[in-house]
Chains A and B, each alone.
Chain A
Amino acid sequence: MNEILSNKVGKRMFLLGNDAIVRGAIEAGLDIATTYPGTPSSEIGNTFSQIAKDAGVYFEFSTNEKVAMEVAAGAAVSGQRALTFFKHVGLNVAADPFITLCYTGVKGGHVIIVADDPAMHSSQNEQDSRYYAMLSGAPMIEPVFPQECKDMVKGAFDISEHLAIPVLVRTTMRVNHVSGVVEFGDMKARRGKVHFDKEPTKPVPMPLVSKQKHPVLLKKLKEAMELTEAYQFTTIEGPKGKAKLGVITAGASYGYVKEAAKKLPYDIRIMRIGMVHPMPVKKMAKFMMTVEKVLVVEELEPYMEMWTKVAAKDAGLTLEVHGKDLLPRIWEFSRDIVTDAIIKAMGDEPPKRKMPFQMELPARPATLCPGCPHRATYYACKVATKDEAIFSSDIGCYILALLPPLRTADLFLCMGSSVGTAAGFSKATDQAVVGFVGDSTFFHSAIPGVINAVHNKHKFTYVILDNRTTAMTGHQPHPGTNKNGMGEEAPALDIEKVVRGLGVEWVRTVDPFNVKATIETFKDALAYKGISIIIARRECALLEVAKKRGKGEALPTYRVIKEKCKKCKRCLKMFACPALFIDEDGTVAINDTLCVGCGVCAQVCTFGTIEKVGDDTK
């Protein structure tokens, strides 16, 4: 049994915030958990996938976040305790059912984790999810430390059940990916199977019903306004008497504020908000009466700053309220950023900071791995299109092809956008159009776009990069794999059959490591007058190599025949495997630590310079 399921009250473990969230939900007597993987929340699902069976919890990687929300909603409306989690943009996908679920309400506690990503460490935008709480009316809480991730998630189920409404838990990357000491609490019993009681005021919000449901939601919100004033994780600390400065803060910023205040010579009183929706405006007004001026410290949008100004105005206070006038509205904060803002709020001059030395360093962006089948597909596509097509792309490792020299990504917006945008390109231009989508993203939300392309007679080539896994977020299963989130055998949907079923006439499946055949397939596909689909199928290199190494199987080794190398660098310019590099004599060489022996570079070199030398168990 996994340690995280231990019954020992008081046991202390070093846990990642994401794992602490799992523990909190389990302690609350969770029945069902659903997700679609997305960083910074990915590890929550990975951990559930390991422990769900032992914990007696049902867990699934749903096809997408909307489905995840709906599966959990069905269970929560029936009376089970449900957890749904995803990254911030996942809530965009799930927003439709979520907003109305706040009208219908829930019977069992339904907690939704939404993981924001200030600084966009692994995201396409840094939208601030707190506005979803305002939009929907759902309460939203914000933990700071791993211990709070556990305790606040556990408590959120009670709040949800008390108000009969879903509760949002907002995290940021520096909460999800922070590890710390977590002390375990007691375990509540799970409900198991429940009986769905048909209700007189059915949760079916057709206009007649929703007219009654909106006032109900507003009543719940009013009750939540009482709860937030007394919420135990909203705290005030600092010196007695009137403080020179009051800081209102929440989430990861609280840590920076606390440490900055400790080092600065000012009298600072700190109000940390635990429930950010609804905001405790009465408590905030009282707090402001004990300080001379206020600084609101929050990453991203001036959400709390707006509420602070509302609270001050409603209480007839006229003190200075600072926030985004002194702090950035983009990216993450640091203690230094917060320190400088406090100094400025106090009317002083912050110290000048500079790097200890200046040196030009080579960039080290993430890149497609050595042996990655996507790189081989991109190479074939570049050759077949003479590098002149428009490339729509999508979310997954393969978006790394944006970088030179591959440059096979011209536009992507969100999960599944590659197919609709390809159709738009084909209507707007006479250029060849090639779209790329991963296998998991195809199932997630590209299918309606393929149907659209068939029915509306769009003309482009669509490539499904089928590496048999959800690679980018850590190799989760998807509907095309034969395992599910519980680790059980599951029916694997055949992508080729799916697209044929959608009405696509031109479909070919290729092995991207057969470079010549892949180039020819691209040429044929580009000549087709309609949507042509290429399924480029080969397992993710990380998985394939791990399997081989696990079995003690040999990996082939390759070398460059120095005398034959023409130093043309075509392999670097067109293929750019990270295992290839230029040796001191100007010829290309292979880094044998990085090389996994896929052999594609040997097919890329037009002079036969790269040869297989044998197999090596490395």
Chain B
Amino acid sequence: MSAKAPEAINIQLAGVGGQGVLLISNIIGLACVKHGLNVLSSEIHGMAQRGGVVWSTVRIGEVFSPMIAAGEADVLLAFEPVEAARAAEVVSKRTVVIINLRAIVPFTVGTWGHKYPPVDDMIKALKGISKKVVAVDAEKLAEKAGNKVAMNVVMLGALMGRGVLPVPDHIMKAAMSEKVPKKAVDLNMKAYDLGFKEAKITRG
């Protein structure tokens, strides 16, 4: 191992099918391997991809299961506000919560009469558990970088901007470049940097 093994670092990712959540947990996992860290990651495939909830986890260090126990996430990286609230079980005062502000309203609101709570209420509720809640308009930043599809990489940049992961920035960028399409590397680099800066600025 080239790096000192840390205590377990637990990252919970939550979002919606089609947002590229699994790509991000894959990139983080790859970066950990590149840095010589032990890592386990888990994901839900299948029906979740048809616009349903997508969860994945990354756990770094001396871990024997990919699953995060209640309140034990070091990071909750939520790609959508309702999915941030739905994942609240893993959040405690130690958790850094990064939320993409753009709501994706599920069809159940229009056709089943379900209610989409105000985004501010959900953020407030999460702030009630952890003081380390950061809200980012990742889609806007991705558009600034050139394509709103790069929203997921903005979120990765934001995660790195908070400095919680035991992986150097250049290694994460190398892992990201390997996993995104070749022609989109430059765009994603921009997206990553914008996310990184945003999370740094709004720190606190």
Cross-chain contact A363 with B114 (CB below 8 angstroms)? yes
For residue B138, give the distance in angstroms from its CB to the closest CB of chain A: 14
Complex partner residue of A122 from B47, B106, B148, CB under 8 angstroms: B47
Instruction: Say yes or no: A364-B44 contact (C-beta < 8 A), given A254-B64, A335-B69.
Output: no
Interface 1/0 per residue, A343-379 and B, CB below 8 Å: 0000000000101110111111111110000000000
Cross-chain contact B47 with A362 (CB below 8 angstroms)? no
Chain A residue contacts of B64, Cβ below 8 A = 144, 254-255, 258-259
Interface 1/0 per residue, A165-190 and B, CB below 8 Å: 00000000110011111000000000
For residue B127, give the distance in angstroms from its CB to the closest CB of chain A: 11
Instruction: Say yes or no: A335-B67 contact (C-beta < 8 A), given A122-B47, A359-B85, A359-B117.
Output: yes
The answer to the question of B26 belonging to the interface, with a C-beta cut-off of 8 Å to chain A, is: yes
Complex partner residue of B16 from A144, A259, A364, CB under 8 angstroms: A364
Q: Main SS of chain B's interface residues?
A: mixed
The answer to the question of A472 belonging to the interface, with a C-beta cut-off of 8 Å to chain B, is: yes
Complex partner residue of B46 from A144, A361, A472, CB under 8 angstroms: A472
Cross-chain contact A366 with B52 (CB below 8 angstroms)? yes
The answer to the question of A334 belonging to the interface, with a C-beta cut-off of 8 Å to chain B, is: yes
Cα–Cα, bound, A13→B46 (Å): 24
The answer to the question of A435 belonging to the interface, with a C-beta cut-off of 8 Å to chain B, is: no
Cross-chain contact A359 with B33 (CB below 8 angstroms)? no
Q: Which residue of B lies closest to A182 (CB)?
A: B33
Count chain A CB atoms within 10 A of each CB in B49, B51, B117 and give the residue with the most: B51
Cross-chain contact A42 with B50 (CB below 8 angstroms)? no
Count chain B CB atoms within 10 A of each CB in A178, A360, A473 and give the residue with the most: A178
Count chain A CB atoms within 10 A of each CB in B51, B64, B115 and give the residue with the most: B64
For residue A264, give the distance in angstroms from its CB to the closest CB of chain B: 13
Name the 6 nearest CB pairs between A and B, nearest first.
A255-B65, A122-B46, A366-B52, A362-B114, A366-B50, A39-B46
Name 8 extra pairs, CB < 8 A, besides A181-B38, A255-B65, A362-B116.
A255-B66, A258-B64, A356-B89, A359-B85, A365-B106, A367-B107, A404-B111, A578-B106
- Listed by A's residue number, 30 A-B pairs whose Cβ atoms lie within 8 Å are A122-B47, A145-B40, A179-B25, A179-B26, A180-B39, A180-B40, A180-B41, A181-B39, A254-B64, A259-B63, A334-B67, A356-B89, A357-B128, A361-B82, A361-B117, A362-B105, A362-B115, A363-B114, A366-B48, A368-B50, A400-B47, A400-B50, A572-B110, A578-B106, A578-B107, A580-B110, A581-B105, A581-B107, A582-B110, A593-B148
**Chain B residues near A (Cβ < 8 Å):** 16-17, 25-26, 29-30, 32-33, 38-53, 63-67, 69-71, 82-83, 85-86, 88-89, 91-92, 105-112, 114-117, 121-122, 125, 128-129, 148
